[in-house]
Amino acid sequence: MDEVLTTPVSPTLASPEPGSGKDATAQANGGFNAAQTAKGPQAPRDLSEIGLPQGFLPNLIIKILYVRGALSGDRLSSLIRLPFWAIEDDLETFQKRKLVEVLRSEGMGRRGYIFDLTTEGRNRARTLMQVQPYTGPAPVALEQYAEWVERQSIRTPYVGPDLVEKGLSHLVLDAETIELVGPAINSALSMFLYGAAGNGKSTLAEAIINIFTDEIFIPYAIHADGQVIQLFDPVTHTPVDDDVPTDDEEAQGPIMFPPPSFDRRFIRIKRPLIIVGGELTLDQLELRWDANSGAYQAPPQMKANGGIFVIDDFGRQRLHPRELLNRWMYPLDRGEDFLTFTSGRRAAIPFAPFVVFATNMDPFELVEEAFLRRIRYKIEIKSPNKEEFTEIFRRLCKIHGVEFQQSAVDFIYLQYYIRYGIAPRGCHPRDLLRDLIDYAAFLGRPPSLSEDMLDHSCRSYFMSLQQMNEAHHDA
């Protein structure tokens, strides 16, 4: 039987009971001090507060010197993301054991010493690299990560009608959709967006992040069961501060940092938005060993903790929807996810993103009732009516510098939607304008909503008349 590394997960990470909504001043959030949470994790004051197993930090120092070469005490401290006092005793011990030597001094005190490995130190480093090759910032303990996921839950901030309307103001949505989406966003539990293709389900799912303007702290890496999980991803996470580790080899001189206001093993980021689509496979939802970094890479749902996790084009994945749904049932129910290391041991990781499924398919045919019960909100995104279509067209004309004309909308409705039974879609104004602008550029003319240009775009976009009729009958 697989061994499981368990981490206490607060009930606030799991789905609350129906009716346990948030009041206008936000939830108490498990009794945590809101002011302290906003400041970030407190910088460690002694070695016990660093929370790493004995030997991990000294080994990390040796490996970083091996990979980077000679470094000042300050530079080494900045790479490890801990105060110099946390590594000073280890460096002195290494000197006494002839593993490290001081080449010269380029600053005040031992922080300005340039440290390098001796031959014996390099031999020791090679052995360590074979066992655990990670050389990044010092990780935080899994328990500390779980605490900060809970502290910064996306389910804590109160989201009212004004915030929803402001955050989604760039979209054209009817009042009914706003009324349905608003409570789902405020709960930040799970939501199923469905409806015909081209009506903005993906756009809406992505836009929700605009409503959450606060920032959160995440660790660069996490230590769990003797292994390191690299969490911070510069591709998907947006740092707020400039203090991000760099590989700039010229920045190795003595650098005097001010006392840190928070634990520098964490980084302050905007709440994340992680999107996966039809390419998603089950193995992508598991820990992945990365030989280059010497650590496990966190899966997308873990990177989305504290933010929004969008599963787009649900039902279009190569695996059967039931397989994917079975994978999500426990995390959605319990607020924790079990991830497996290559050794077979598993760790219980907090699962606390706002999960949004988006699909063109009928969810009641796509998934079982048991799973739909776990999705708190099921919302159909309908095709725009003519008034909404006109507003979308008007806004896009302004963006592209094309003079809007109501007659253009009337032409599309009369000559194509009504005549050939085509259903309007929210994406049509965007696509038709793009085609029209391309056609105008080809002719060497400024784009305009003249009937000849518009008709050319419509004929190109809506296929042949026969195909249009066939598509209408099939629908």
Domain coordinates in residue numbering, the chain? 4-43+142-237+272-380, 48-138, 386-474
- pLDDT tens digits along 25-65: 444 455 556 777 788 999 999 999 999 999 999 999 999 99
pLDDT at 9: 40
Rounded-to-integer distance, Cα 432 and Cα 178, Å: 27
pLDDT at 156: 85
The answer on pLDDT for 14 being more than 50 is no
The answer on pLDDT for 133 being more than 70 is yes
Mean pLDDT highest for which of 154-163, 230-239, 259-268, 371-380? Answer: 230-239
Residue type, position 353, single letter: P
Q: What is the DSSP string of 396-415?
A: HHHHHT----HHHHHHHIII
Cβ atoms within 10 Å of 343's Cβ, excluding its own:
11
pLDDT at 8: 40
pLDDT at 15: 40
Inter-CA distances, 69 with 64, 77, 121, 122, 221, Å? 8, 14, 12, 10, 22
Inter-CA distances, 229 with 100, 129, 232, Å? 28, 16, 9
Query: Quick one: which of 84, 38, 31, 80 has its CA closest to 59?
Result: 80
Instruction: Kindly state the average pLDDT of the residues 77-84.
Output: 95
CATH topology of domain 48-138: Arc Repressor Mutant, subunit A (1.10.10)
Instruction: Kindly state the average pLDDT of the residues 162-187.
Output: 92
The answer on pLDDT for 257 being more than 70 is no
Which is more confident, 316 or 23? Answer: 316
pLDDT, mean over the chain:
86
- pLDDT tens digits along 387-445: 999 999 999 999 999 999 999 999 999 999 999 889 999 999 999 999 999 999 999 99
Instruction: Kindly state the average pLDDT of the residues 446-467.
Output: 84
The DSSP bridge partners found for residue 380 are: 194
Inter-CA distances, 301 with 80, 310, 437, Å? 26, 9, 39
Query: Quick one: which of 283, 303, 136 has its CA closest to 233?
Result: 303
- pLDDT tens digits along 184-201: 999 888 899 999 989 999
Length of the chain measured in residues: 475
Rounded-to-integer distance, Cα 377 and Cα 193, Å: 8
Instruction: Kindly state the average pLDDT of the residues 66-82.
Output: 96
Rg of the chain on CA atoms, in Å? 27
CATH superfamily of 4-43+142-237+272-380: P-loop containing nucleotide triphosphate hydrolases (3.40.50.300)
Residue 103: Cβ-neighbour burial (10 angstroms; 0-12, 13-18, 19+): exposed
Confidence label for 256 from pLDDT (cuts 50, 70 and 90)? very low
Q: Is 428 helix (H, G, I), strand (E, B) or coil?
A: helix
Q: What percent of the chain has pLDDT over 70?
A: 86
Whole-model pTM? 0.84
269, 237 contact by CB (below 8 A): yes
pLDDT at 3: 41
Instruction: Kindly state the average pLDDT of the residues 1-14.
Output: 40
Rounded-to-integer distance, Cα 276 and Cα 266, Å: 25
Q: How far apart are the first and last CA of the chain?
A: 50
Q: What is the dihedral of CA 179, 184, 187, 188, to 10 degrees?
A: -140
Rounded-to-integer distance, Cα 449 and Cα 455, Å: 9
**Tokens found for residue 128:** 């360590």
Query: Quick one: which of 310, 307, 321, 326 has its CA closest to 192?
Result: 310
pLDDT at 157: 83
Query: Quick one: which of 31, 307, 25, 34 has its CA closest to 158?
Result: 25
Instruction: Kindly state the average pLDDT of the residues 342-355.
Output: 93
**Tokens found for residue 57:** 């930090």
Q: What is the DSSP string of 50-108?
A: T-PPTTHHHHHHHHHHHHH-SEEHHHHHHHHTS-THHHHHHHHHHHHTTSEEEEEE-SS
pLDDT at 471: 52
Which is more confident, 376 or 443? Answer: 443
